[in-house]
Amino acid sequence: MDYSCIVFDTAPTGHTLRLLQFPTALQKGLGKLMELKESFGGMLTQLGGLLGGPGQEDIIAQATSKLTALKAVVEEVNRQFQDPDLTTFVCVCIPEFLSLYETERLIQELARYNIDTRNVVINQILFPDGVGTSRLLEARLKMQQKYLDQYFELYDDFHVVQLPLLPAELPPGKEEIKAEIARLEARITELKDQLVG
């Protein structure tokens, strides 16, 4: 099947980083196996002939063929992961310390593996005009602003999108997401009009 876009919605680190590291680790491991086969292939063939009789060369040739095919697939996955026209990572976070820490860790690891990341979405932001007044909300706004400032300082060359804290969880589904996008676009237009007018 052909797809124009595939989205993996994952937790930011841990298993995701291991998944992204897997093709590189597998590629290195397969390379080492191929080197060993080249170095000791003749000896293995002779040993197989002594122990198992005829057919051992075919088994080694089949295993080598499968390893070569697997190595080609892994190399292609790595190539696609590292091609910014094909793969990019969008980091979604919230304006809190742990999320900032995890986002920075993720971006550094992605850079280490030459995987494109140039977009950060900061979610669940309290905007001053959208909340009432209370000491709790004021403290929360101040805390969020501290981390927002740090995000913008760390990622000044990234495309950073800020999304508000919603009163309820966004239900899953294409139509619900389209409706939320329309609501956000209307709010952006409203704010632009306020700035101009």
pLDDT digit string, tens, across residues 124-171: 999 877 666 788 888 999 999 999 999 999 999 999 999 888 888 877
Same domain for 105 and 126? yes
Assess whether pLDDT exceeds 70 at residue 6. Answer: yes
> pLDDT-based confidence at 21, cuts 50/70/90?
confident
Same domain for 44 and 111? no
- Please list the residues that pair with 160 across neighbouring strands: 120
Last residue of a domain, one of 39, 61, 81: 81
Last residue of a domain, one of 81, 102, 127: 81
> pLDDT-based confidence at 190, cuts 50/70/90?
confident
pLDDT at 111: 92
Same domain for 23 and 63? yes
Distance between CA atoms of residues 177 and 84, nearest Å: 26
Element spanning 142, H or E? helix 135-154
Q: Can you state the percent helix, strand and coil of the chain, rounding each to 5?
A: 65, 10, 25
Q: Are 106 and 52 in contact (CB under 8 A)?
A: no
Q: Does a structural domain hold residue 53?
A: yes
Q: How many structural domains comprise the chain? A: 3
Residue scoring higher pLDDT (140 or 4) = 140
Assess whether pLDDT exceeds 70 at residue 197. Answer: no
Q: Does a structural domain hold residue 193?
A: yes
Question: Mean pLDDT, the chain, as a whole number?
Answer: 81
Residue scoring higher pLDDT (83 or 130) = 83
pTM of the model: 0.70
pLDDT at 118: 92
Find, among 179, 153, 156, the residue nearest to 166 by Cα: 179
Pairing assessment for the beta strands 119-125 and 159-164 based on DSSP bridges: parallel
Q: Does a structural domain hold residue 8?
A: no
Distance between CA atoms of residues 36 and 29, nearest Å: 11
Same domain for 54 and 109? no
Q: Does a structural domain hold residue 4?
A: no
Q: Does a structural domain hold residue 146?
A: yes
Q: Does a structural domain hold residue 6?
A: no
Distance between CA atoms of residues 41 and 79, nearest Å: 29
Same domain for 74 and 127? no
Q: Which domain holds residue 195?
A: 169-197
